[in-house]
Amino acid sequence: MNQGKYAFSQLFETFPKYQFKKCVDRYRGDHRVRSFTCWNQFVAMAFGQLTGRDSLRDTVMCLSAHREKLYHLGIRGAVPRSTLAEANENRDWRIYADFAQYLVGKARGLYADEKLPTDIEGPVYVIDSTVIDLCLSVFWWAPFRRRKAAVKVHVELDLRGNIPTFVHVTRGNTHDLWFLDELSYEQDAFYVMDRGYCDFRRLMVINRRQANFVVRLKNNFQFELFGSQRVDKNAGLIADERVRPTVKKTRLAYPEVLRRITFFDKDQDRVFMFATNNFDLPALEIAMLYKHRWQVELFFKWIKQHLKIKRFWGESENAVKTQVWIAISVYLIVAIAKKDLRIDRSMYEILQILSVSPFDKTQLFQLLSETRMSEIEEFSRKQLKLFDF
């Protein structure tokens, strides 16, 4: 039963609140806190993410406009901007990182039966990172270039449902290869990476864990040929070879035989070379597997366009990481609700509906399934008009 609850409150019923409290207690987030708890902070920041607020002040003003409704969201009383800003600055960001990991586990369970974009059995993960530029004079703690600051978001994305299974937020000058040392590799799983992750010592670790990797090779890769197989050149394949590195340092790092696949992509008019430790899959399947790596690029593009992680509402490292983790949590909560309620809409459409109706008392399933997108788009267009002629 809906029982007159707001859509925003119904959305947060998709997970038990005690799981959030576990994360808070782990880092003593509510120690000596009188009224504005970590839960209040999370709800306020998540509200800003869902409704597309542009700043902390904008979020607080919008919440203040609905002060009498905040009790139903778990917030007692008004939310001062200084209180929310102080919470973002000082409360441990790992609270929200751990909570996001709980949501990852729940989302992966719901999307376990989702069909992969390939015929491969078993999990397929794509590994990549994205850089979010910052102002060096403000975010001095996040050096990236000589006159630029940035944070880097590293992601391991499960192609079943495009769920981020492991996320790490670092300073912009952190090398991508460092992320590979943080991962726990699953047996028989596939890990797809761009050439920035082509480090043979780390690839050997994946091989020893009995997992599969597909990585784009650098152009200066030197090897000796052990054999080759016939390929279908009409499908874009150029070569399917068994090779071994010849450079001494590389050979010591990876002494095993590799499979080298060369593929011509007609769409991009480019030649790609891949290395893999899997000798069973057809060569074309390996090439197509790398092509699905673009799902992580689409994921980065989506969260940058539809969630607030390009413009930060605090200046400290703790505030930035808190905002990023809460944004990822919001993405996961919406993904869980989509699967739980069996909503046949895209994530974009669900977020658009929720952004204009957080205080609607319609049952969430009915709101998300019956609202026409033409009405939402018309409402959004009208918001841009100051005067009506």
Q: Average pLDDT, stretch 107-117?
A: 85
pLDDT recorded at residue 3: 59
pLDDT tens readout for residues 174-223: 999 999 999 999 999 999 999 999 999 999 999 999 999 999 998 888 99
Query: pLDDT confidence of 374, banded at 50, 70, 90?
Result: low
pLDDT tens readout for residues 129-188: 999 998 888 899 998 988 889 999 999 999 988 899 999 999 999 999 999 999 999 999
Query: pLDDT confidence of 329, banded at 50, 70, 90?
Result: very high
pLDDT recorded at residue 385: 37
Query: pLDDT confidence of 33, banded at 50, 70, 90?
Result: confident
Q: Which two tokens stand for residue 194?
A: 């761009």
pLDDT tens readout for residues 84-107: 999 999 999 999 999 999 999 999
Residue 384 has pLDDT above 50, yes or no: no
pLDDT recorded at residue 304: 85
Fill in the amino acid letter for 368.
L
Residue 379 has pLDDT above 90, yes or no: no
Residue 293 has pLDDT above 90, yes or no: no
Query: pLDDT confidence of 380, banded at 50, 70, 90?
Result: very low
* Domain spans in the chain, listed from the N-terminal domain onward: 7-95+315-383, 195-286
Residues near 289 by Cβ (< 8 Å), separated by ≥ 6? 118, 120, 124, 190, 192, 214, 281
Q: Average pLDDT, stretch 75-90?
A: 86
Residue 386 has pLDDT above 60, yes or no: no
Q: Average pLDDT, stretch 220-229?
A: 89
Instruction: Kindly report the three-state secondary structure assignment for every residue of the chain.
Output: CCCCCCHHHHHHHHCCHHHHHHHHHHCCCCCCCCCCCHHHHHHHHHHHHHCCCCCHHHHHHHHHCCHHHHHHHCCCCCCCHHHHHHHHHHCCCHHHHHHHHHHHHHHHHHCCCCCCCCCCCCCEEEEEEEEEEECCCCCCCCEEECCEEEEEEEEEEECCCCEEEEEEEEECCCCCHHHHCCCCCCCCCEEEECHHHCCHHHHHHHHHCCCEEEEECCCCCCEEEEEEECCCHHHCEEEEEEEEECCHHHHHHCCCCEEEEEEEECCCCEEEEEEECCCCCCHHHHHHHHHCCHHHHHHHHHHHHHCCCCCCCCCCHHHHHHHHHHHHHHHHHHHHHHHHCCCCCCHHHHHHHHHHCCCCCCCHHHHHHHCCHHHHHHHHHHHCCCCCC
pLDDT tens readout for residues 63-73: 888 777 777 77
User: How does the average pLDDT of the chain come out, rounded?
Assistant: 87
Q: Which residue has the higher pLDDT, 212 or 376?
A: 212
- Parallel, antiparallel or unpaired: strands 148-158 and 143-145: antiparallel
Task: Label residue 34 exposed, middle or buried (CB < 10 Å: 0-12, 13-18, 19+).
Answer: exposed
Q: Average pLDDT, stretch 246-268?
A: 92
User: Which of 123-127, 264-268, 344-348 has the largest mean confidence?
Assistant: 123-127
Q: Average pLDDT, stretch 373-378?
A: 52
